[in-house]
Amino acid sequence: MVNTGAASDRLRALGLDLPDIRSNPYYVHHRTVGSNIYISGQLPYKDGELLGQGTVGREVGLETAREFARHAALNCLAAAVQAVGDLDRVRIVQMLVFVASTPDFGEQSNVANAASELLIEVLGENGRNARTAIGVAGLPLNSPVEIQMVCTAL
């Protein structure tokens, strides 16, 4: 896949916009150290609402979990842009995808692939990253997915 043009144009071509992420009195959404940007864990919020709750493999199906992962990754991109001001200045270094799932689910990497696909569609090679996808017993607000990232500013 060859990506040309601005990352923000590719994002709009997908019918997406970077969301506004609300501040939190207990933590920051990003911390910049040198050219590194550490993104706090982001949940699948859209328009200020958590898209769903539950455990993947029980109340939440695979395709729904993949959509939640895309939204969480979009929120991570929004936090990165808050840090550097421009989507074209963002390179994803590492992504940690947490999936609240049943012990026998085993498809955490498939959920994470949806986030990876979005990042590559928008950022091209700057969206490819080192990645970990793990199943956990629970996440904040009973969210099915949470994503944390480390980025670098270009």
User: 59-84 pLDDT, tens per residue?
Assistant: 999 999 999 999 999 999 999 999 99
Give pTM, 2 decimals: 0.94
Task: Please give the pLDDT value at position 22.
Answer: 86
36-61 residue pLDDT tens: 999 999 999 999 999 999 999 999 99
Instruction: State the average pLDDT for the chain.
Output: 95
Cβ contacts of 15-22, under 8 Å, gap ≥ 24: 16/74, 18/74, 18/77, 18/78, 18/81, 18/87, 19/45, 19/46, 19/47, 19/74, 19/75, 19/78, 20/78, 21/45, 21/75, 21/78, 21/79, 21/82, 22/48
Structural domains of the chain sorted by starting position, each given as residue range(s) with its CATH number in brackets: 7-19+28-153 (3.30.1330.40)
